[in-house]
Structure 1
Amino acid sequence: MTTQEPRPAVDAESPTDPVPLMGCPYKSNPYPLYERLREAGPVHRVLFPSGVQAWLVTGYEAAHSALNDDRLGKSHDRGNDRWRARASIMPEPQHSQLQVHLLHQDPPKHTRMRRFVTDAFTPRRIERLRPRFQELADALVDALPETGPADLVTGFAARFPFQVLAEVIGLPGESAARFDRDWGKVVQPVGPTDPGRSRYEARLHGLQSYIAEVVAHKREHRDDDLLSHLVAARDRRELTQEELDSMIFQLLVAGQEPVTNQLTTAMVALFRHPGQLARLRADLGLLPRAVEELLRYDSAFELTTWRFFDRDSDLHGTEVPAGDSVIVSLCAANRDPRRFADPDMLDLDRSPNPHLAFGHGIHFCPGAALARAELQIALGTLLTRLPGLHLAVRDEDIQWIPAVLGRGTDHLPVGYDRRL
């Protein structure tokens, strides 16, 4: 990590200069920058590594308002040519075939598509599946070395959410075993001239072929599960082929990688607060409230995906041109001192805790109940079965993923006294 890289600054004298959201110091700890942005105002012009410029919403009230603003649409068709030149990097035909999922739809299309997935993720159904999730978590811990060190990501955090997701959506065991986590990186921007472009396109083709195989299997082997229901909806022409493929794409990528990342941010936060970690280990009854605080304190969904006005519009005193991208910083909103007392403190007793880690409004994460259950089970299992669990590298040596919208780490070396 090149800690000598300068942090982006907020220059109130040059409001048109975009603030760069990039570099190792920013990814390792974006909160000082978010604090300066909040203090300077609710909306700022920012620059992403891909060259995309966007309008970033930072404060809690502004973020909450933007997430519920029906003037802001999610469809990529709203993006102007300036945005499209830099942001629409997924090549055709894959862009048209895999990018028409829920995150990129507006009502009434969004309403129609969302109803196909909500029943699979209801809190009541998730509660019924908790014993099975616990079995999966215990089996993964059983496979860890009897004593540390171990990589908590490759040994647990990268595997548990996908195994749970497979159970919830009905992904066949053979198909689940063949899923390559590397395919999830297709959501990380790789421009047409980037040296890694060919590898990016190989991932994309691999994932698309995998989705086609899953659809073919579920069409031949129908069951009472989400994937079978989606395929049946396509066969009844209630979904187009592109909508079906895109929704499976979203389930496979957005349905498990953010939980993996949230597990890593949660564990890092607890390692940095050993007193809170010890307290949670001693009283697992704190887990539901602790999970909410860990979601607020350092969310894996750092930023939302694009939103667009269809005409030049005022956004909290800033004129935003039609088709420019608007992005909400969930992490900045969740550390706003005007909404949360001592926001930089990890407080497992915090209540109420109206964080925005799962978004808000019509695009509130449909898998929120599942993610909460996964986090509670995963943290409880790790703290109970790995006594003495601690970080096995220096805090400054943690390598944070360079993803534009998310926070997390691909490796988290840990030590522990023994495996129970």
Structure 2
Amino acid sequence: MSQAPYIDLSSPALKANPYKEFERIRTEDPVHRVTLPGQRQGWLITRYEDAERVLRDQRFVKDARRAFSTEQLEREFPWLKAQEQGGDHQPARIFSRNLLNSDPPDHTRLRALVNIAFTPRMIERWNERIQEIANTLLDAVQAQGQMDLVNDFAFPLPMTVITEMLGVPAEDQLKFRQWSNIIIESSGNPKDAQSRAEPIREFRDYLYYLIKKKRAQPADDLLSHLIETEELGDKLTEEELISMVSLLLIAGHETTVNLISNGTLALLQYPEQKEKLLNDPTLIKSAVEEFLRYHGPLMTATQRWAREDLELGGKQIQRGDYLIVVLASANHDSQEFDHAELLDVTRKENAHLAFGKGIHYCLGAPLARLEGQIAIRTLLQRHPNLQLAVPEQDLVWRPGALIMGLRALPVAF
């Protein structure tokens, strides 16, 4: 097979304006074979219809062990064997036993254990606390007349919420951000991934320490609940517990940081839409859905592997093929969304894929929505004249194939 065209989805240069390139691919070759960093071959899934199918169809699996023969696994993923034998060849193994990287029946069991904490009814109980956090953060920068919206507001809000939910000490938030940045920003780039081994080891060791502490002094929090579940046996192993907590901490804030900052940037790019929202605050729910579609927090979904040979979008996909669902492309597909290239906070039909579809639909979607609604509504109420404090072309996007997020968003009010 001839070498497929090369693309680096982790490049900040691509992220500065990915939609034109994805539109070209979506129009010319929507199921597009590419060469990724590290010479891995894969398929970019860029059209909404195909993307939704891959996200829903359980023939596309999250666990590579279900897509390869034993010989292929040993050749392509030598660290998996070490992991099965309980070795520590890869510190990243702490991410291998969570909801994100598992398939039924493990996925069904793991999701059931944490689902109760993230139902809309349970999340609604956090309404007042999220509002309090938003006000406190804005109070802290009020006298300055300006702030970095990412670091002063969009990051600390969801990080405070998820650490309080889990029962993590507030003074450790900065550590988690540093670890999370390294882990997330190295996604899709094998060279960067090599440099994250030590931070991941530190993260894992901290989680072991925290769990030990919670075992000795349980409290009314989600981590204590998960530990209790693990101690009952046959429901959650020690490795699954570590993996679950790491996922909740990282996923519990990363997407919301980008939702708040990307959504705010979109409003500053479309001042007439900002005025609509200011004049009618009841539009905040539809506005947040539009932010998720227009400038969503993730550029791609997490990995999928074909479990069997099949046809997709006119292409023959082979067992073991690697697929990347490009959410940033599917959510701008004009076959699904009218005037997909425009921001419209009043958009009614908005079945975006920002939170995925099917059994892997984002567990934290209700929490992210509530945080986004409260954060952006409060920000506009208190600072209706919010504006960029730097030229838009000076904004820098974070690397990593997975996320769509800004390093900083300087604003003035």
Paired position in structure 2 for 1:41: 29
Provide closer, same or farther for how the CA distance between residues 300 and 87 of structure 1 changes in structure 2, counting only shifts above 3 A: farther
Within the candidate set 34, 41, 47, 1:53 is matched to: 41
Alpha-carbon distance in structure 2 between the residues aligned to 1:194 and 1:260: 26
DSSP 3-state at the match of 2:224: helix
Are 1:376 and 2:373 counterparts?
A: yes
Aligned ranges 1:280-291 → 2 under 5 Å: 280-291=277-288
- Equivalent residue, structure 1, for 2:50: 62
Cα distance change on mapping 1:332 and 1:193 into 2, 3 Å: closer
Q: How far does residue 312 in structure 1 lie from its aligned partner after superposition?
A: 3.0
What is the Cα deviation at residue 83 of structure 1? 5.8
Query: In structure 1, which of residues 200, 217, 236 is the aligned counterpart of residue 232 of structure 2?
Result: 236
**Partner AA of 1:69 in structure 2:** D
What does residue 168 of structure 1 align with?
165
Which residue in 1 is equivalent to 2:146? 149
- Please tell me whether residue 17 in structure 1 is matched to residue 13 in structure 2: no
Give the whole-Å Cα distance in 2 for the aligned partners of 1:210 and 1:321.
40
CA positional deviation for 1:196:
8.3
CA deviation vs aligned residue, 1:250-275 (integer Å, no higher than 9, x gap): 01111111111121211111111011
* Letter aligned with residue 384 of structure 1: Q
Moved more, 235-244 or 335-344: 235-244
Residue 398 of structure 2: aligned partner: 401
- SS state at 2:27 partner: helix
Query: Pairwise mapping of residues 28-107 of structure 1 onto structure 2 (< 5 A)?
Result: 28-77=16-65, 78=67, 80=72, 84=77, 92-107=89-104
Find the partner of 2:111 among 96, 114, 123: 114
**Deviation larger for 68-77 or 286-295:** 68-77
**1:126 equivalenced with 2:113 (yes/no):** no
CA gap of 1:307–1:375, structure 2 versus 1, over 3 A, is same
What's the CA shift string for 1:57-97, capped at 9, x where partnerless? Answer: 11111111111111111113236568648999x97242333
Q: How many residue pairs end up in the alignment?
A: 400
Give the CA deviation at 1:316.
2.5
C-alpha distance in 2, partners of 1:85/1:316? 32
The DSSP-based 3-state class of the residue aligned with 1:111 is helix
User: What's 2:360 paired with?
Assistant: 363
Normalised to the residue count of structure 2, the TM-score between the two structures is 0.90
Give me the whole-angstrom Cα distance separating, in 1, the residues matched to 2:408 and 2:36. Answer: 24
Task: Sort the Cα spacing of 1:47 and 1:109 in 2 relative to 1 into closer, same or farther, 3 A.
Answer: same
Q: Distance in 2 between matches of 1:87 and 1:154?
A: 36
Structure 1 CA distance for aligned equivalents of residues 120 and 168 of structure 2: 20
Structure 2 CA distance for partners of 1:398 and 1:378, relative to 1, 3 Å = same
In the TM superposition, what is the alpha-carbon distance from 1:365 to its structure 2 partner? 0.1
Report the aligned-residue RMSD. Answer: 2.5
In the alignment, is the contact (CA less than 8 A) between 1:330 and 1:357 conserved in 2? yes
**1:224 and 2:220 equivalent?**
yes
Cα separation, 2, equivalents of 1:353 and 1:366: 19
CA distance in 1, matches of 2:323, 2:193: 27
SS at 1:115's partner residue?
helix
Separation in 1, partners of 2:192, 2:116: 42
| Contact kept? 2:185, 2:398, Cα under 8 Å | no
Once residues 55 and 192 of structure 1 are traced to their aligned partners in structure 2, the CA distance between those partners, rounded to angstroms, is: 16
Contact 2:34 2:42 in 1 (8 A): yes
Q: Does 1:136 align with 2:129?
A: no
Partners of 1:358 and 1:281 lie apart in 2 by: 26
Q: Confirm or deny that 1:271 pairs with 2:268.
A: yes
TM-score by length of 1: 0.89
- Tell me the percent identity: 39
C-alpha contact (below 8 Å) 2:48/2:331 kept by paired residues: yes
Q: Deviations over 1:343-385 (max 9, x none)?
A: 0111111112111110000000010000000000110111112
